[in-house]
Amino acid sequence: VFDNNYYLDLQNNTTLLTSDQSLYSNSADTEDIVDSFASNQTVFFENFILGMLKMGQLDVLTGSEGEIRTNCSIANADSSYYQQIIESIVGPEEQSQSSQST
């Protein structure tokens, strides 16, 4: 069932991952969001829909245009190492074809 129980679990300190629990336990900013979503499933659904719509508008980089980041919030200084990894998995031909089709 897709519902807001995840946020109720955060309030009850019964989440599986400590990193998830920190959303409620370690931040006043996100604690308010957790409380809002836990107390009102409709608010959670509305915000989930808005988040999915925003994600759908992102221009995803594929093939040689994208990169596998070592730190998700920072672009790699030199992506040639990761480029070699990608090419060894998908091959340079497939990678260039996927970048041309986007």
For the residues 55-79, what does the mean pLDDT come to?
A: 77
pLDDT tops 90 at residue 63? no
Binding positions for Ca(2+) are 3
Known binding residues are 3
Question: Is position 74 within any domain?
Answer: no
Domain range enclosing 30 = 4-56
Handedness of CA 80, 86, 87, 89 (dihedral sign): positive
Residue 80 covered by a domain: no
Residue 26 lies in a domain: yes
In a domain, 86, yes or no: no
Return the exposure string of 26-43: e unless at least 16 CB atoms fall within 10 Å of the residue's CB, then b: eeeeeeebbeebbeeeee
pTM above 0.95, yes or no: no
Q: Does some domain include residue 94?
A: no
Residue 11 maps to a domain = yes
User: Mean pLDDT over residues 27-36, rounded?
Assistant: 91
Number of domains in the chain: 1
In this structure, is residue 70 part of a structural domain? Answer: no
